[in-house]
Amino acid sequence: MAQASAPAVEIEVDSRVVRVSSPDRVYFPDHGWTKLDLVDYYLAVGDGIVNALLERPCMLHRFPKGLSGDKVHQKRVPSGAPPWLETVRVTFPRYDRTADELCVTELAAVVWAVQMSTVEFHPWNSRRADVEKPDEWRIDLDPGPECDFATVRRVARVAEEVLAELGATGFPKTSGGSGMHVYVRIAPDHGFHDVRRAALAFAREVERRAPDDVTTTWWRKDRDPAKLFVDYNQNARDHTIAAAYSVRGAPDGRVSTPIRWDEVDDVDPHDFTIATVPGRFAEIGDLHAGIDEAVFDLVPLLEWADRDEHEGAEPPVDPD
């Protein structure tokens, strides 16, 4: 006979109460971490995860049976959600559809999503005030299958150098996978197409400075597997990556974790898990807390894009 699940628990989150069913369901079998452990993790980094998701359309990566089961990519908030939960409507012109996606404005919304079996949070790089105008430029350092993490560290340093010359402030984090991300806050003055053009111009400059380590070749089959792809396409409309402080669906409960630039040379992404990040957060706080005060104007990068295209470089490939 199957063992009965523990009774639901009620979690008080500020002025809300969120009912968490099956709190003892094991989500990470290798460690025995449960749904309630996941709730406790997100409560521990509450200010950080809310800051990362605030006012953004958010796709949920759900594991209804834990990591041992299937993953569900969910855009639409289901019917029956609590009346206080906020959403933002986004359109998908190619399919002539809309979706009311989760729009986090408070920590209780994050706990509600975990109750709905969410492990990973993947927000847009725009906010609901104007979902067509990104305010976050995302630099995704994506290593090829034969590219080691030492290369990721080296390329991150090159990206830091280029950002400094541009006068832009980058906020690095581990991806929770094999790569690294750097976020830059931008003024929401440009559409997705121009943000991608700017991101590609930046990637090409990084490639010029580190040609042995970096590729901007679009088609995966044409890339050197030992090189790192600076994935400018993560700035395309409706393309999302795991938020800062989002847990990843990996057996060790890894977390996409903000780091300082002086940590880049020695960082090991395996060190950041749901067991270790709460203590780090309690000690140093949210390293991305100041991102909204460091707004960069994309115009210089768009001028680089114009230059590259004038010299014969291809514009960004359509992601569709």
The C-alpha atoms of residue 181 and residue 170 are separated, in whole angstroms, by 10
With 90 as the cut, is the pLDDT of residue 74 above it?
yes
Contact 245, 274 (CB under 8 A): no
pLDDT tens digits, residue range 89-110?
Answer: 999 887 789 999 999 999 999 9
User: What is the DSSP track for 214-271?
Assistant: EE--SSGGGS-TTSEEE-GGGGSTT---PPTT-B-SSTT-BB--B--GGGGGG--GGG
In degrees and rounded to multiples of 5, residue 273 shows phi and psi of -135, 175
| Token pair for 61 | 């990566």
How many other CB atoms sit within 10 Å of the CB of residue 66? 18
pTM for this model (two decimals): 0.95
Stretch among 18-32, 285-299, 305-319 having the lowest mean pLDDT: 305-319
- What residue type is assigned to position 100 of the chain? D
- Structure-token match 């409706």, residue found: 238
pLDDT tens digits, residue range 229-259?
Answer: 999 999 999 999 999 999 999 999 999 999 9
> What is the average pLDDT score of the chain?
95
Instruction: List the domains of the chain with CATH numbers.
Output: 9-123 (3.90.920.10), 136-239+293-310 (3.90.920.10)
